[in-house]
């Protein structure tokens, strides 16, 4: 056994974040207020979108996005109910689709990039298709240009689940900004951390207003006098407690907004560090023909490092997991694996389109190791040593 410890996640805080918390405490304002509003403004400016709506988690950001489709003027009258999703993602990519009254149409992934297989998406589109949820898996951009074209040519909505891919780019454009809505997460293990937190971004003023109303009870309080949902009366007493949509309470805390303001300037350094580490990861993987790493599409922000066992190593994942654990290296499954193989699937309205062979291979043979913004040379040395010893017994 070793005393070495390489965790899946570390934080990116400095003294500024700690002072931000103290600033909120001194203000005696804890619920959503000016700190959150300013964070939203700075976040949208950084990513080059018109609007950002912060919520209490990335999962909630996904929930807001799917429910917004129920009330957006472009989609609310559609009778189409299927939403195309990849078979591989985190659980809260799938749940909001069903919770919003849609049906999951599950398709396979590209085995190299781990993102939606565009050819499978094209085969899955039919008259009952309402939209597509594209996941930028593990920080790796999906084929967003092609997916945007498919959505536009078939009058579908496109939502980007970008919770693992903050800072990634495709053709020089930030992921999360190709869809009608894009979602981000600022949970502890993600690129930036506000403790818990999520952000929904859009260039549509109408969608921003719908999401803002849904976030807080479906009321009109945060909307302008003239808005896309229902204009205010001008009576402040009445307008503060007028309920327009069947919403939620997904509001973030002022502390989260204050911390987020300090995290935004760190984003370039965080992404640079993660991408630098990825170069070493690629070099290590190149030494082992029984490892299949994730193929980068565009500029990944490298949420974590993906390893799939192939050839002579297939079926020996438990053995390798044990060796990594003994070396103090934390591992985890690749998100939820194949969602159709999870017990929860019996509660989710869904249909499968085509084979899910590529996702099954991930489910059975792959695993993740964490990435961070700081130098990981010591960790890479430990990982490589384990891989070398494992190879000796293949």
Closest CA to 288 of 309, 264, 266, 316: 309
Q: Are strands 103-107 and 169-170 parallel, antiparallel or unpaired?
A: unpaired
Q: What are phi and psi of 247, to 5 degrees?
A: -95, -155
**Burial annotation 258-288 (CB, 10 A radius, 16+ → b, else e):** bbbbbbeebbeebbebbbebbebbeebbeeb
Cα separation, 391 vs 358, whole angstroms: 24
* Largest Cα–Cα separation, the chain: 76
Active site residues: 190
| Dihedral angle of Cα 177, 114, 145, 280, to the nearest 10 degrees | 70
Strands 304-309 vs 366-370: parallel, antiparallel or unpaired: antiparallel
Q: How far apart are CA 382 and CA 131, in angstroms?
A: 44
CA pair distance 304, 310, nearest whole angstrom: 19
């Amino acid at each position: 056994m070793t005393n070495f410890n390489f965790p899946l996640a570390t934080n990116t805080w400095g003294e500024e974040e700690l002072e931000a918390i103290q600033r909120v405490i001194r203000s005696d304002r804890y619920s959503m207020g000016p700190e959150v509003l300013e964070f939203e403004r700075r976040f949208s400016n950084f990513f080059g979108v018109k609007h950002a709506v912060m919520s209490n988690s990335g999962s909630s950001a996904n929930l807001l996005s799917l429910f917004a489709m129920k009330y957006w003027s472009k989609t609310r009258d559609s009778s189409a109910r299927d939403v195309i999703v990849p078979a591989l993602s985190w659980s809260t990519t799938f749940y909001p689709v069903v919770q919003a009254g849609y049906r999951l149409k599950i398709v396979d992934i590209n085995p190299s990039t781990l993102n939606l297989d565009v050819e499978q998406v094209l085969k899955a589109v039919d008259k009952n298709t309402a939209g597509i949820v594209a996941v930028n898996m593990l920080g790796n951009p999906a084929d967003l240009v092609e997916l945007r074209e498919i959505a536009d040519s078939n009058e579908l909505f496109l939502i980007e689940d970008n919770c693992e891919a903050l800072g990634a780019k495709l053709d020089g454009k930030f992921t999360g900004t190709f869809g009608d809505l894009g979602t981000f997460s600022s949970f502890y293990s993600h690129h930036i951390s506000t403790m818990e937190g999520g952000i929904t971004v859009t260039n549509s003023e109408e969608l921003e207003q719908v999401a803002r109303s849904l976030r807080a009870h479906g009321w009109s309080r945060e909307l302008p006098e003239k808005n896309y949902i229902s204009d205010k009366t001008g009576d402040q007493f009445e307008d503060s407690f007028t309920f327009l949509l069947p919403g939620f309470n997904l509001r973030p805390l002022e502390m989260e907004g204050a911390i987020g303001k300090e995290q935004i300037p760190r984003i370039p350094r965080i992404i640079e560090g993660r991408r630098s580490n990825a170069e070493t990861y690629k070099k290590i993987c190149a030494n082992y023909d029984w490892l299949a790493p994730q193929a980068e599409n565009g500029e990944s922000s490298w949420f974590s490092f993906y390893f799939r066992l192939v050839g002579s190593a297939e079926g020996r994942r438990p053995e390798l997991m044990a060796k990594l654990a003994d070396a103090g290296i934390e591992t985890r499954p690749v998100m939820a694996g194949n969602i159709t193989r999870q017990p929860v699937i019996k509660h989710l309205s869904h249909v499968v389109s085509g084979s899910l062979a590529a996702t099954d291979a991930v489910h059975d043979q792959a695993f993740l190791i964490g990435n961070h913004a700081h130098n990981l040379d010591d960790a890479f040395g430990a990982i490589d040593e384990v891989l070398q010893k494992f190879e000796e017994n293949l």
